[in-house]
Amino acid sequence: MDKRDVIVCRCSDLTLADLEALFNTGYKTFEELKRIARIGMGPCQGTTCGPIVRSAIHRRFKEPIERIPLHRARPFNIGIKLGAIKEAADDES
Amino acid sequence: MNPKEARIVIIGGGISGASIAYHLAEAGCTDVTLIEKGYLASGATGRCGAGVRQQWGTRLNCQMAKESVAFFERAEEILGYDGDVEFKQAGYLIVGTNEEEDARFAENVALQQALDIPAEHLTPKQAKRLIPHLNTEGVTSATFCPTDGHLNPFLMTDAFYHAASERGVRFKTYTKVTDVRVKDGRVAGVETTAGDYPADVIINAAGGHAQLVGQMAGVEIPVQSQNREILVTEPIEKIQDPMVISFSRNIYCQQTPHGSFVMGRGDNRPSGYTTESSWQFLEAMAQTAVTLLPPLKDLRVVRQWGGLYNLSPDRQPIIGGTEVEGFYIACGYSGHGFMLAPVTGRLMKEIVLGEKPSLPLEELSLERFDGEDTEAYEQSVV
């Protein structure tokens, strides 16, 4: 199958060909790929693309798969409205 | 020795180091190595608010910012970059809330206009015309410059990285400098987690960690690092063009081309190297943002993070040589190193190659802190 037809990241519309082009320019970790191409930053937050990217890194760089870290998760698994945070903060003071 | 044949090591793979690497290689330097402890833009560059403004309170900051904007406007063409660095000039609206600020705004705008920066001093009503959802209660005046804007920190760094690589610069990522070797008052090389690199010239562009790198060479740099936090919301349809900032309210907030809102504050913190996220920031940020820009109350926060401001005593950068021959520094940007990077690279190239400086370097020198309090103090910092 043509690598241009293999979708790696549905949220940011990235193909396997895109991913390999990034490998070729020197990017080789999830954290770097995320910042250049927004992989892992869409609605799925890496739950779909994470394992796919990891196995692509494994195949390309021959790293043992268990040693390839996924991206760092930040606070908030579910979005909270700014207004709700303000209201709670106002109540306290 | 021909300075273009010198063995040059740049410490730090943020926007400053990448720009310096590009400018040196473009000028013909043949032996340039950049060493970065993480990945490119993994420090303050990749954690910044992605804003670019020319509305500053000191002549030098205004000049550096204006010349950097001229570079960003043509960045893809200058660097031969295939992608888009997302430079979107939708302006910066700076909101004031008291008479003292109004007076300073008037002075700043006069200075900026004298330097051909198209900034204007506005009434609250005029400001509301630019941003209809701005709550002008308590707002006394504002300034606006239409050519300020947004720039993607990762892609801009990537553009410098590509252009520098094509010109022969070697990039060593995931490599940490552990010591700077100095012999008879001049640099000899750096020791890293991946071996030694002999060097004739070492450039400290280590951002939040610049003071530590200075100490490795025995150079005391009067800067301190502080954690500054930011949050980002879910992306929505475009509702706000300009970046909104206020020094007295303590906020900067913009809608990025991606649709998300990115916002931060400048709360004073103990100096150190933590970049943790706090609930104190989250609460204060929500209160400030929703008060000034009420429709933002319905936006969901999806992430927050911190990054290091490297603060100099007068909030202007330190760019130049040191008492150790061959050891140069570019640090102390006080939260605006990202937007000044093109000029940082150009000035460092001029210094290293002994060219005629294009800006008054004495105002950026490390020695300026030797005497009394410096005159030009940048007040316009969030």
Tell me if B301 and A74 make a contact (CB, 8 A cut-off): no
Lowest-confidence region among A65-79, B50-64, B216-230: A65-79
Q: Is the pLDDT of residue B31 over 80?
A: yes
Q: Which of residues 30-69 of A touch B (CB under 8 A)?
A: 31-32, 35-36, 38
Q: Is the pLDDT of residue B191 over 60?
A: yes
Average pLDDT, chain B: 96
Angle, alpha carbons B300-B301-B305 (nearest 5°): 170
- pLDDT category of residue B376 using cuts at 50, 70 and 90: low
Q: Is the pLDDT of residue B374 over 60?
A: no
Q: CA B66: distance to chain centroid?
A: 13
Lowest-confidence region among A66-70, B50-54, B292-296, B318-322: A66-70
Q: Hey, is the C-beta of B39 within 8 angstroms of any chain A C-beta?
A: yes
For residue B179 the two structure tokens come to 């010591």
For residue A90, give how far its alpha carbon lies from the nearest alpha carbon of chain B (Å).
8
Q: What is the CA radius of gyration of chain B?
A: 20
Average pLDDT over residues B91-118: 98
The whole-number pLDDT of residue B264 equals: 98
- pLDDT category of residue B319 using cuts at 50, 70 and 90: very high
Residues of chain A whose pLDDT is less than 70? 73-77
What element of type H or E holds B20? helix B15-26
Distance CA B22, CA B162 (A): 9
The shortest CB-CB distance from B171 to any of A26, A36, A89 is to A26
The whole-number pLDDT of residue A79 equals: 77
Choose, out of B171, B230, B282, the residue to mutate when testing the contact with A (most A CBs < 10 Å).
Answer: B282
- pLDDT category of residue B33 using cuts at 50, 70 and 90: very high
Strand-strand pairing, B51-52 and B149-150: antiparallel
Tell me if B300 and A81 make a contact (CB, 8 A cut-off): yes
- pLDDT category of residue B375 using cuts at 50, 70 and 90: low
pLDDT tens digits, residue range B269-284? 999 999 999 999 999 9
Q: Is the pLDDT of residue B352 over 70?
A: yes
Question: Which amino acid, A65?
Answer: I
The whole-number pLDDT of residue B252 equals: 97
- pLDDT category of residue B371 using cuts at 50, 70 and 90: confident
The whole-number pLDDT of residue A77 equals: 62
Q: What is the largest CA-CA distance in chain A?
A: 60
Q: Hey, is the C-beta of A90 within 8 angstroms of any chain B C-beta?
A: yes
Q: CA B346: distance to chain centroid?
A: 15
- pLDDT category of residue B380 using cuts at 50, 70 and 90: confident
Average pLDDT over residues B213-236: 96
Average pLDDT over residues B217-226: 97
Are B233 and B378 in contact, with CB atoms under 8 Å apart? no
Distance CA B285, CA B253 (A): 10
Average pLDDT over residues B28-55: 97
Tell me the whole-structure pTM to 2 decimals. Answer: 0.93
The shortest CB-CB distance from B277 to any of A75, A90, A92 is to A75
Q: What is the CA radius of gyration of chain A?
A: 17
Q: Hey, is the C-beta of B166 within 8 angstroms of any chain A C-beta?
A: no
The whole-number pLDDT of residue B265 equals: 96
Q: Hey, is the C-beta of B80 within 8 angstroms of any chain A C-beta?
A: no
For residue A26, give how far its alpha carbon lies from the nearest alpha carbon of chain B (Å).
9
Classify B69 as helix, strand or coil: helix
Residue A21: partners with Cβ closer than 8 Å, 6 or more residues away: none
For residue B212 the two structure tokens come to 């530590």
Are B33 and B2 in contact, with CB atoms under 8 Å apart? no
The whole-number pLDDT of residue A75 equals: 62
Positive or negative CA dihedral for B336, B338, B343, B345?
positive
Classify B60 as helix, strand or coil: helix
- pLDDT category of residue B261 using cuts at 50, 70 and 90: very high
The shortest CB-CB distance from A81 to any of B41, B284, B298 is to B298
The whole-number pLDDT of residue A46 equals: 87
The whole-number pLDDT of residue B34 equals: 98
Q: Which residues of B touch A80 (CB under 8 A)?
A: 300-301
Integer angstrom CA distances of residue A53 from A12, A19, A37, A90, B46: 13, 8, 12, 43, 21
Q: Which residues of A touch B303 (CB under 8 A)?
A: 74-76
Average pLDDT over residues B248-268: 95
Taking each helix axis as running N to C, give the angle between helix B153-166 and helix B341-352, from 0 to 180 degrees, rounded to the nearest 10: 30
Residue B101: partners with Cβ closer than 8 Å, 6 or more residues away: B140, B141, B247, B248
Residues of chain B with pLDDT > 90: what percent?
Answer: 94
Tell me if A82 and B301 make a contact (CB, 8 A cut-off): yes
Strand-strand pairing, B300-311 and B327-331: unpaired
Q: Hey, is the C-beta of A21 within 8 angstroms of any chain B C-beta?
A: no
The whole-number pLDDT of residue B166 equals: 98
What is the number of CB-based contacts under 8 A between chain A and chain B? 74
Q: Is the pLDDT of residue B315 over 60?
A: yes
Map out the domains of chain B with their CATH numbers.
3-48+154-223+313-380 (3.50.50.60), 87-147+225-309 (3.30.9.10)
